[in-house]
Every structure is written in structure tokens, then in C-alpha cells.
Amino acid sequence: MKTSPFRAVFNRRSTAMEKYLLAIIIGYIVIVALKNPLFFSVETLFDMLRSGSGVMILAIGVLIVLVSGGIDVSFTAIAVVSGYTSVKLMLALGIDNILFAFMVSIVVGCLLGAINALIIYRFNLPTLIVTLGTASAYHGLMATVLGTKSFPTGAMPQSLVNFGSTDLIVINSDTGRYGLTVFLPIVIAVLVLTWFILYRTMLGRQVFAVGSNEESASRLGINIFRTKLFVYAYSGALSGLMGIIYFSELKYVNPVSLVGTELMIIAAVVIGGAKLTGGEGTILGTILGIVVVQLFQSTLVFLGLGSSWNDLFFGAVLLISLGVMYYRQRIQDRKNLVFATA
């Protein structure tokens, strides 16, 4: 039997969902390119890589939480709170250093995530309820203690502005300068690290095990608290990382933004094949889900459509793809004489 290139790389078959998403993406790109050939350029690719970086990092955090059987809606709040705390601290201490920014933000994000895990485990509460609560609490705490004053390009730490403008490859064309963002290696590092943790460490396999069946996992002697602590702290750390990237990309520090986009990101990860019931989800699927979202968001001008079309496209893809996925499951279940899906 011939091994497909995909199998050689990922050591598994691609899921039906991944193939389906890939088809959507290719089909959509062809349509946009036909409608407006200007779309089909390296510059578009580079620009999308830059705009998609932050969301991609958040999505990876969402993926790992979903795999563990939870659902976290506090990650955008954590991103903004950690990033803003870091910026405030830099301004107060007069430290204008990008590494310091990342360090503070990641540590704060990690802590806030750990608090989520602590509450979820200690009180055995549904993760949605807890994170819904902590999202408000974290943001409210920040607004009360640090305020919500925004910092425009001139007033924010310049290391962030410079970092956001750093490119790995710079190309000068007649339509201006563009480049490959420095965010890309960070995103790739996050993807590789997460892949390694999820698939190559016991901890990662335990995350899948806990998401698959928590009761069985604890019978096996898996430390449920430790696993969850890792999941939420890791997701929090990724959010913290994203917070700085977000402010750097926009070159504008606005602590009342970003919050409110979490469901869109969760939906993208779910489109990518992660199940809300836990135990299932792939990194490739998540990447594809985010590509779909990012593609819709940044092609409306090319298509000459208003921003409400974005919502329409996204909603349609969400419903159709999940509909197809669950319908197939249902047919399968019916064959096995199961009439309700848990």
C-alpha cells in the first residue's frame, strides 16, 4: 500500500472534516481569485499570516481545552487583561523591552488560567459557567484596578510597536513594502510545541484521556487536577502571549477590545473537528478552521461585499459542516441502533 504524503507527515489519516474544510478553502480561494485576480498574490498571503497569527494562538488554547472536555470563554479576557497589565507595568517601570512584555503577559495569563482550573476542579463546576464568570471578573478587576485608558501608537511602549513592524523577509513592490511577519515563527513554535505536548508526552495523552472519559481516567490513576491545571494554565499562557502580539499588531493598546470575539474562535475550532464533548480535535483541523474564518474576514473588499456577508458565510459554513458531520454520525448510530447522541 502506498503511503500518502499526509500520512507520512502526520502519521494518521486525515479526517473527513479536514478534507471537507480543505475543499471549502480551495473552492473559496478560486472564486475570489476569479472575481478579483489581485487577490492572488504573495502580499495577500503575508498579510493574512500576520492578521491570523493572534487568533491562531488563541485557537490552539481553545483546542486543548476542548480536547480535555471543557469549554473556556475567558481566553479573550485573559489575553486583554494579561497584555494590558504587562503594558501598564512597562510604562510604570519604564522598561521598554519586548521580552519583558511577553514574560509578564504570559505569567499573568498562566496565573489567570490556573485560577480557572482551580475553581473548576475545587467546586466541580461546569467549565462554561466558571469561565463565563471569571471572564467578567478578570476584566472587571482590570478595569477597576488598572483602568481602561487606551494607549495610541505614540504613547504605548515602542518595543511593541517595533516588534509589530518587524518582518523576516521584506519585499518592496510598486504597491508598497510588505513582509513576512515575525509572528510567524512564534505561531509555528506554538503549533509544534502543542503538537509535541498533545501527541508525544504522557501529559498530552492524559489530556485526551480525561476528555474522553474522566471517570476512567481517574480509575487509571491519572491526576485529574494536574491535567486540568496544565490545560487551563497553558491556554492562559497562550492567551497572554497573544495579548502582546495583538497590541503589537494593531500598534494600539485598547483594553476594551477583543473581548466578545471568543465564540467566533471557538466556532472555528469546532468547525475544525474538535468536539464539545471532549477527547477529539486535531491541530491541523484547528488551523483549517482558523484559515476559513480569516479568509472570509479578509476577502470581502475583494468581493465588494459588506461586512454582514462575513457573518452569513461563516454561519453557513458552521451549520453546513457541523450538520454534515453530525448527520453522518447519526446515520452510523442508526445502523448501530443508537437513537440519541450524547
Partner 1 sequence: MGNPILIAENLSIAFGGVTALDSINLSIGEGEILCLAGENGSGKSTFVKIVSGVYAPSAGSVAIDGGRVDSQGPRAAISAGVQVIYQDLSLFDHLSVAENIAMNRMMHDGSKLVKRSTMRTIAAEQLARVGVELPLDDRVSTLSVANKQLVAIARALSMDARILFMDEPTTALTTNEVKRLLKIVLELKSRGLSIVFISHKLDEVFAIADRITIFRDGHKVGDFTAAELDEESLSFHMTGRRVSYARYHRQIDDETPLLQVQGLGRTGNYQDVTFDLRNGDILGLTGLLGAGRTELALSLFGLNAPDSGRILIGGKPVSIRSPLQAMEHGIALVPEDRKTQGLFGAQSIRNNVSSNVIDSLLGRTRLIDRKAEQALAVATVHEMNVNNKNVDTLVQNLSGGNQQKVVIGKWIARHPTIFILDSPTVGIDIGSKQEIYDRIHALAASGIGVIVISDEPEEIIANCNRVLVMHEGAVLDRFEEADLRAPEFKDRLATIISDPEAHVKHATAALTTITPGDQR
Partner 2 sequence: MKRPTKLLGLTVTAIAATALLAGCGTVGETGGATAAGGSDDGVFRIATVSKVEGISWFEAMRTGVDQFNEDNGDVVEAWQTGPDTGDPAKQVQIVEDLIAQGVDALVVVPNDPQSIAPVLKKARDAGIVVITHEAPALAATESVDYDLEAFDNAEFGEKMFEQLADQMGGKGTFVGEVGSLTSETHMAWYNAGVAYLEANYPDITPVSAQPYEDDNDDSKARDNALEILKAYPDLGGFIGTSVSAGANFAAVLKEKNLTNIATSMLSLPSVAGPYLEEDVVGSAQAWNPAGAGYAANAVALAVLQDQAVESGNDLKFEGYDDVTVDGKLITGAAILMIEKGQYPGGEYPF
In the complex, which residues of this chain contact partner 1 (CB under 8 A)? 11-12, 199-206, 208-209, 211-213, 215-217, 219-222, 279-280, 337, 339-340
C-alpha cell at 204: 498530552
Binding partner of 36, given partner 1, partner 2, none, CB within 5-8 angstroms per partner class: partner 2
Which of 69, 70, 73, 77 is closest to 131 using CA atoms?
Answer: 73
Binding partner of 307, given partner 2, partner 1, none, CB within 5-8 angstroms per partner class: partner 2
165 binds partner 2 (CB under 8 A): yes
94 binds partner 2 (CB under 8 A): no
C-alpha cell at 21: 474544510
Binding partner of 250, given partner 2, partner 1, none, CB within 5-8 angstroms per partner class: partner 2
Chosen residue from 3, 307, 336, 341 binding partner 2 by CB under 8 A: 307
Q: How many CA atoms lie within 13 A of 184 on its CB side?
A: 15
300 binds partner 2 (CB under 8 A): yes
Q: Contact 190/57 with Cβ under 8 angstroms?
A: yes
Query: Which CB atom, from 208 or from 232, has the smaller least distance to partner 2?
Result: 232
Binding partner of 212, given partner 2, partner 1, none, CB within 5-8 angstroms per partner class: partner 1
34 binds partner 2 (CB under 8 A): no
Binding partner of 337, given partner 1, partner 2, none, CB within 5-8 angstroms per partner class: partner 1
Q: Contact 272/21 with Cβ under 8 angstroms?
A: yes
The DSSP annotation for 115-177 comes to: HHHHHHHHHT--HHHHHHHHHHHHHHHHHHHT----B-TTTS-HHHHHHHH-EEEEEEETTEE
Q: Give the angle 219-221-224 at the CA atoms, nearest 5°.
A: 90
Which of 319, 336, 117, 325 is closest to 236 using CA atoms?
Answer: 117
75 binds partner 2 (CB under 8 A): no
Chosen residue from 15, 22, 41, 118 binding partner 2 by CB under 8 A: 41
250 binds partner 2 (CB under 8 A): yes
**Cα dist. 298→47, 69, 219 in Å?**
9, 32, 48
148 binds partner 2 (CB under 8 A): yes
Name 116's Cβ contacts closer than 8 Å, sequence gap at least 6: 72, 74, 127, 130, 131, 134, 232, 236
Q: Which residues bind partner 2 (CB under 8 A)?
A: 36, 38-39, 41, 43-44, 47, 51, 123-126, 129-130, 133, 136-137, 140-141, 143-144, 147-150, 152-155, 165, 172, 174-178, 249-252, 254, 256-258, 261, 297-302, 304, 306-307
